[in-house]
Structure 1
Amino acid sequence: MAPAVRSILDAARERPGGDSRVAVDDARSLPAAFAAAEADGRTPVVAEVKPTSPTTEGETDRDPVELAEEMVAGGAAALSVLTEPEHFGGSVENYERVREAVDVPVLRKDFLVTEAQLDAVAADVVLLIARFLGDELAPMVEAARERGMQVLVEVHSEDELERAVDAGAEIIGVNNRDLAALEVDLGTFERVAPAVPEDATLLAESGISTPADARRMREAGADGLLIGTAIMDGDPRENTTRFVNA
């Protein structure tokens, strides 16, 4: 892994979890939100509220709720909110405020490595990264579902995809960013997507910078697109609409 990624993982291992077990009885369905967007003629986009990132320059001090509301107004089917504090400037408080303010599913984007960390906030959907979790992936998927959460399992290769499927993943994201060199290759999604089970909800993540990239990922089989920097840079509402109409 790249040093920046190793630093993120090391910090994640030290981060405590919640004080008590959470239960989510009103999780908003990500697959249903994608279906609704499709029925409305929109490309299903998960727009990411990202204060900063080790892979991009600069940061924003805009209120996360304002950003989220603009993205939803621009047509986002769902949102992703960073809760990782050390490297991305996120927080569970930001997540809670955004989820309260919008009516679409909200993904908790973080680097979760222990079951207790699931209890930091009640989430519609949580991200679990296959490479970070190894043999703990299946227990973490089960633990999240026991709490009423949906799970987006992120993979980078066919080997990781196989482990995700074995763990019971129903929502799968293929990340185009290589964790070793932090380089982006949209061909990653195109190579891995054909092996994804047809009944899974499939997302393309990272490196989607233009509407042409969005169309390319959709043609390769993406049910939805997770887009961060390209929406955050500039006007979030206008940028979201560009991708929604791709």
Structure 2
Amino acid sequence: MDTDEQLAPAVASILAAARERGGGGERVVVTDARSLPDALAAAEADGRVPVIAEVKPTSPTTEGKRTDDPVELAEQMVAGGATALSVLTEPEHFGGSAETLERVRAAVDVPVLRKDFLLHESQLDVVESDVVLLIARFLGDQLEPMLTAARERGFGVLVEVHTESELAAAVAAGADVIGVNNRDLGKLEVDLGTFEEVGAKAPEDATLIAESGVATREDAARMRRAGADGLLVGSAIMDGDVRANTERLTTPMDEIQ
């Protein structure tokens, strides 16, 4: 696990807040989780580019804040062809909340990912979702226990990596849905080549998600050619007309296979 000195200041601040944030009360048990891999496969069979659209009011790497009703934004994303949704529940830096996730999940019929910085098992017990995000870089040797704890509660799990060593740790922990973040959390630089390099080392039967940096249909095509089963897209959808932006990215180009 990184020390805060190895992270960009904004990320170190997020991590520090996550350490202090408590968990839920009662143990969460999800009995009706919608499968992210199944949804990705269904989108592909339907001829759409599988996109996980992110409901993200703000972030340390973007300017401004969306004040629209997040449920309306989510519904527009689904209308635009989003395969699944990612909802931020981190409050201090991203303006998210568990209540927002609850409202969005009740309003749509696609899988909903809880995107947060989860460090302790009790933090899994805040809200029901279909999938939770676990970040290998932040969890270190706690990744496997957290993965097990999440699955015991009925969550699907997306494990995020950035390097080949993190990928190896994720696979060793039992991850089968793996997100490769093109953003280096140490420098906040984005390089789509990260997915091309790291994703190529993933097991053939893993479900791979390309995270960060996808802004255009050309970017989407590039990630799909590199083996991405799905694309997690935030700012490129949230900046402007979310339905039109989602439609633009979910409509395949000739080279998107």
Q: Which residue of 2 aligns with 1:195?
A: 201
Q: Which residue of 2 aligns with 1:99?
A: 105
How much does 1:180 deviate? 0.9
- Whichever residue aligns with residue 4 of structure 1, its letter is A
Q: Does 1:51 align with 2:79?
A: no
Residues 105-136 of structure 1: CA distance to partner in whole angstroms, max 9, x if unpaired?
A: 00000000000000000110000000000000
Q: Name which of 18, 24, 31 aligns with 2:30.
A: 24
Residues 50-78 of structure 1: CA distance to partner in whole angstroms, max 9, x if unpaired?
A: 00000011111000000000000000000
Q: Which residue of 2 aligns with 1:163?
A: 169
The separation in 1 between residues aligned to 2:8 and 2:28, in whole angstroms, is 33
How much does 1:96 deviate? 0.2
The separation in 1 between residues aligned to 2:151 and 2:107, in whole angstroms, is 24
The separation in 1 between residues aligned to 2:72 and 2:169, in whole angstroms, is 38
The separation in 1 between residues aligned to 2:170 and 2:190, in whole angstroms, is 21
Q: Which residue of 1 aligns with 2:139?
A: 133
- Whichever residue aligns with residue 209 of structure 1, its letter is A
Q: Which residue of 2 aligns with 1:172?
A: 178
SS of equivalent to 2:63: coil
- TM normalised by structure 1 equals 0.99
Q: Does 1:67 align with 2:73?
A: yes
Aligned length: 246
- Whichever residue aligns with residue 78 of structure 1, its letter is A
Residues 158-187 of structure 1: CA distance to partner in whole angstroms, max 9, x if unpaired?
A: 000000000100100000001111010001
Q: Which residue of 2 aligns with 1:231?
A: 237
Q: Which residue of 1 aligns with 2:152?
A: 146
- Whichever residue aligns with residue 24 of structure 1, its letter is V
Q: Does 1:241 align with 2:247?
A: yes
The separation in 1 between residues aligned to 2:53 and 2:141, in whole angstroms, is 30
- TM normalised by structure 2 equals 0.95
Q: Which residue of 2 aligns with 1:86?
A: 92
Residues 25-58 of structure 1: CA distance to partner in whole angstroms, max 9, x if unpaired?
A: 0000000000110110001000000000000111
Residues 216-243 of structure 1: CA distance to partner in whole angstroms, max 9, x if unpaired?
A: 0000000000000000011100100000
SS of equivalent to 2:186: coil
Structure 1: unaligned runs, 5 residues or longer: none
Q: Does 1:7 align with 2:7?
A: no
Q: Does 1:214 align with 2:220?
A: yes
The separation in 2 between residues aligned to 1:127 and 1:170, in whole angstroms, is 13
Q: Which residue of 2 aligns with 1:38?
A: 44
- Whichever residue aligns with residue 152 of structure 2, its letter is E
The separation in 2 between residues aligned to 1:115 and 1:67, in whole angstroms, is 30
- Whichever residue aligns with residue 37 of structure 2, its letter is P
The separation in 2 between residues aligned to 1:102 and 1:85, in whole angstroms, is 22
How much does 1:141 deviate? 0.1
How much does 1:209 deviate? 0.9
- Whichever residue aligns with residue 245 of structure 2, its letter is N
Identity within the alignment, %: 74
